[in-house]
Amino acid sequence: MDSPFRTIGLIGKPNHPDAAATLQRLHTFLLALGFTVIVEKRTGSQLIDIPKNKLVKLVDLGEQADLAIVVGGDGNMLGAARVLARFNIAVIGVNRGNLGFLTDLNPEGFEASLEQVLSGEYVEEKRFLLEVEVYRHNELKSANSAVNEAVLHADKVAHMIEFEAFINNDFVFSQRSDGLIVSTPTGSTAYSLSGGGPILTPELNAIALVPMFPHTLSSRPLVVDADNEVRLKLSLENTDSLQVSCDSHVVLAVLPGDEVVIKKADKKLRLIHPKNYSYYNVLRQKLNWGSRLY
């Protein structure tokens, strides 16, 4: 097949029989088309007849493959995307989860759509990530990245915290709340949406700041340019340890008096879709919006 891709990496959902079955079909399908296929190590344990030299770490997969196919839900895609965004690799998902905003190939009949993508007929998007840093006494203590959102919260359920928010060192507000969600457009249909945040279409260079149960009725979500730097300064009056969660996967510890800096990461995720992909069609299907009346 004449294709812009030569080496394809497979990433799966561990301990998930249905995902394993889809991966096996994918592996057989891609080999039959003449592609070189490598498999992420944890994923490879679910498959049969995979040569050991084709089992690689996720970072090595990002370096070696031209296209990564992620089988699972959005959670699997997020975990893979935080690593794969460092490399110039295209990423597409086969949905074996629940909603599947990021994984749009049907596991029951992916072959026709995937073959179209492999032939070069696809839509490509660049999704930016957030870089999250925790500073203590002006010293960097920890850092990670997020595709969907960074969430400042207490390590106890329904526990009020105090903090100040700055944008480019310009004071915005002080707040007592359960925390704050800082969301990308990709994450605007995830946790942020549940918290009353706006839906940001993927092409927007914007982030949303969504307060979590603020102790005032006047506090509302705020949308700002993504090139701005958001800084959260934790009050010394907080009595408990706090946390910043990145995509609900990675947790960074935060103490009273710490500062959390959130900004757009340098690298972007190359997300690709079949040619007939429509973001608004995804919203209608996943959020059960009404169909056309006429």
Q: pLDDT tens across 251-289, in order?
A: 999 999 999 999 999 999 999 999 999 999 999 988 989
Query: What burial class does residue 67 get, using C-beta atoms within 10 Å of its C-beta: 0-12 exposed, 13-18 middle, 19+ buried?
Result: buried
What letter does residue 216 receive in the DSSP assignment? S
Give Cα 104 to chain centroid, integer Å. 14
Residue 82 annotated as lining a ligand binding site: no
* Region 81-96 average pLDDT: 95
Question: What is the SS3 assignment for 126?
Answer: strand
With 0-12 CB in 10 A as exposed, 13-18 as middle and 19+ as buried, what is 71?
buried
190 is in an annotated binding site: yes
- Cα 201 from Cα 86, distance rounded (Å): 23
Annotated binding residue 193: yes
pLDDT confidence tier of residue 96, bands split at 50, 70 and 90: confident
User: In this predicted structure, what is the pLDDT of residue 59?
Assistant: 97
The token pair at 293 is 């009346």
Q: Mean pLDDT for the chain?
A: 93
**Model confidence at 157, in pLDDT bands (50, 70, 90)?**
confident
Active site annotation includes 74: yes
∠ CA 183-187-190, nearest 5°, is: 115
Question: Can you tell me the mean pLDDT for 6-22?
Answer: 91
Task: Please give the average per-residue pLDDT across 86-97, as a whole number.
Answer: 93
Identity (one letter) of the amino acid at 224?
A: V
Instruction: Give pLDDT tens digits for 50-81.
Output: 888 999 999 999 999 999 999 998 999 999 99
> What's the confidence (pLDDT) of residue 217?
85
Return the pLDDT at 70: 96
Catalytic entry in 49, 74, 104, 155: 74
Decide if 276 contacts 143 (C-beta within 8 A). Answer: no
The pLDDT assigned to 186 comes to 97
Question: At a CB cut-off of 8 Å and minimum separation 6, what does 132 contact?
Answer: 143, 144, 145, 146, 150, 244, 246, 252, 260, 261, 262
What pTM does this model have?
0.94
240 annotated among ligand-binding-site residues: no
Average pLDDT over residues 157-161: 83
- Tell whether residue 131 is among the known ligand binding residues: no
Residue 167 has pLDDT above 90, yes or no: yes
pLDDT reported for residue 104: 86
The whole-number pLDDT of residue 159 equals 82
Map tokens 């919203």 to a residue: 283
Per-residue pLDDT averaged across 215-243, rounded? 93
Tokens of 65: 């493959």
Cβ(190)–Cβ(286) under 8 Å? no
Q: How far apart are CA 160 and CA 286, in angstroms?
A: 32
**290 — pLDDT class (breaks 50, 70, 90):** confident
Mean pLDDT, to the nearest integer, of 94-104? 85
Q: Please check whether residue 256 is in contact with residue 242, taking contact to mean a CB–CB distance below 8 angstroms.
A: yes
pLDDT at 60: 97
Do the annotations mark residue 192 as ligand-binding? yes
Out of 31-40, 172-181, 211-220, pick the least confident: 211-220
Query: Which pLDDT belongs to residue 262?
Result: 98
Is 159 annotated as contributing to ligand binding? yes
pLDDT at site 83: 96
Band of pLDDT at residue 121, cut at 50, 70 and 90: very high
Give the span between the Cα atoms of 169 and 232, in whole angstroms. Answer: 10
Q: What was the pLDDT predicted at 240?
A: 79
Which residues have CB under 8 Å from 160's CB, separation 6+?
154, 176, 177, 178, 215
For residue 269, what is the enclosing H or E element?
Answer: strand 259-274
